[in-house]
Structure 1
Amino acid sequence: MKCPEITVADLEQWIKEKRAFLLVDVREPEEYAICRFPQTTHEIPMGRLQREGFELPEEHDIVVYCRSGKRSMYATLFLHSEGYQRVYNLKGGILEYIAQFKKDWTVY
């Protein structure tokens, strides 16, 4: 299955439009402290998501992100396998978002 994804430009537009969506960070807690989207609704490390599962509301689109897009791609595919239909990987992760829109955020 090809992983459904959105670009950082799409995400920026959703944020500007104040669109209702869930923003799920699958990085580790020490990464959250470095930089994160203020709009993040859930912080679920990738290992915990796959090990324990996690129930997310399904009435909104779900955007999953990590540092570069790799972990979030696997998390997106996992959530699809669990029956979530409106879930998307953030292509390029938070690093791509910083490069295009938030050059003042900390990069790691």
Structure 2
Amino acid sequence: MEDINVEELKQRLDNKEEFVFIDVREEWEYEEDNLGALNIPLGTLPHQLEEIEKYKNQEIVIHCRSGARSGNAKKFLETKGYSKVRNVLGGIMAFRALED
């Protein structure tokens, strides 16, 4: 599935659209600045798959600080059979730059 840019993400959040939203940054990063996503740090994702198993056939949007960790999370989930995973290009840095 194609990745998502921050403009589309902002529009979807503003419209309160339904999708599974996951933040793969570390807990301290999430506490500093979050967009309301479920926080599952990349390093713990393999051990927390059961938490998101029910979303396997739904659209999942993943973000991190810059898009690198979420890109890795997307690849990992795809190897586990998740087919509707989208990475937020530019991450929260690009999202916050939109708002400035």
Same amino acid, percent of matched pairs: 37
Alignment check: 8 A CA contact 1:64 1:76 kept: yes
**Residue matched to 1:33:** 31
The letter of the residue matching 1:43 is N
- Any gaps of 5 or more consecutive residues in structure 1? 104-108
- What's the CA shift for 1:58? 3.0
1:56-67 counterparts in 2 under 5 A? 56=52, 57-67=55-65
| In 1, Cα distance between equivalents of 2:56 and 2:98 | 29
Contact preservation (8 Å) 1:76, 1:87: yes
Structure 2, gaps ≥5 residues long: none
Cα distance in 2 between the residues matched to 1:43 and 1:35: 11
Instruction: Choose from 54, 57, 66 the match for 2:49.
Output: 54
Work out the number of aligned pairs and report it: 97
Task: Give the aligned partner of residue 76 of structure 1.
Answer: 74
Tell me, yes or no, if the aligned pair for 1:20 and 1:60 is still in contact at 8 Å: no
- The Cα shift of 1:97 comes to 0.2
Alpha-carbon distance in 2 for matches of 1:81, 1:54: 12
- TM-score w.r.t. the length of structure 1 is 0.82
Give the match for residue 106 of structure 1: none
For residue 59 of structure 1, report the CA deviation from its aligned partner: 4.8
**SS of alignment partner, residue 5 of structure 1:** coil
Matches within 5 A, 1:11-26: 11-26=9-24
Partner of 1:4: 2
Tell me the amino acid that sits aligned with residue 93 of structure 2.
L
